[in-house]
């Protein structure tokens, strides 16, 4: 299948981001990796996250999975990926599983970034405007706290 495919994490909330930009990026990129800058919980607990470095054109040139001390300019991967085609996504995911990479016995989809970089593919970052993750207990409890403080508020 040659249609674009988006793999989205179930543990994050993205607000106010122009998602049409992703399709524009996929006109020239093989993979678009959704990232965030200045995410407080990732800065507090960097070893729980995957980090990337990008060049001045937004091309990803370095991957750091579960890095305890990422560089200051690194961006955090939020777990969402967009691929130029279903076939390409399947190829990369299968290659990643065969390589059996992982910081633990678990294999992270984040490793497709390395697989693509090693294959000299065009891998670019897409910065989300506002983002909140729910993947760690601290993140969930913080969201629950603020929901209790402002029960009638809604995100628009």
**Mean per-residue pLDDT of the chain:** 88
CATH class, domain 5-149, is alpha beta
Q: Does the model's pTM come out above 0.75?
A: yes
Task: Give the start-to-end residue ranges of the domains of the chain.
Answer: 5-149
Q: Give CA–CA dist 73/30, Å, rounded.
A: 23
The model's pLDDT over 102-127, given as tens digits with 9 standing for 90+, comes to 556 667 789 899 999 999 999 999 99
Is the pLDDT at 150 greater than 90, yes or no?
no
Mean pLDDT score, 58-75: 92
Work out the pLDDT band at 154, boundaries 50, 70, 90.
low
Q: Which residue has the higher pLDDT, 88 or 99?
A: 88
Work out the pLDDT band at 156, boundaries 50, 70, 90.
very low
The per-residue pLDDT for 26 is 95
Instruction: Give the range with max mean pLDDT: 30-34, 45-49, 134-138.
Output: 30-34
Secondary structure of the chain as H, E, C letters: CCCCEEECCCCEEEECCCCHHHHHHHCCCCEEEEEECCCHHHHHCHHHCEEEEECCCCEEEEEEECCCCCCCCCEEEEEEEEECCHHHHHHHHHHHHHHCCCCCCCCCCCHHHHHHHHCCCCEEEEECCEEEECCCHHHHHHHHHHHHHCCCCCCC
């Amino acid at each position: 299948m040659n249609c674009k495919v988006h793999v989205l994490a179930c543990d994050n909330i993205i607000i106010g981001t122009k998602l049409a930009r992703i399709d524009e990026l996929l006109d020239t990129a093989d993979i678009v990796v959704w990232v965030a800058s200045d995410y407080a919980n990732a800065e507090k607990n960097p070893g729980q996250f995957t980090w990337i470095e990008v060049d001045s054109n937004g091309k990803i040139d370095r991957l750091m999975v579960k890095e305890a001390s990422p560089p200051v300019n690194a961006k955090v991967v939020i777990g969402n990926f967009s691929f130029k085609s279903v076939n390409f996504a399947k190829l990369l995911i299968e290659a990643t599983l065969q390589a059996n990479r992982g910081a633990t016995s678990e294999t992270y989809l984040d490793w497709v970034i390395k697989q693509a970089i090693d294959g000299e593919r065009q891998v670019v970052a897409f910065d989300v405007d506002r983002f909140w993750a729910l993947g760690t207990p601290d993140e969930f409890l913080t969201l629950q706290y603020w929901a209790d403080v402002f029960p009638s508020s809604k995100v628009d």
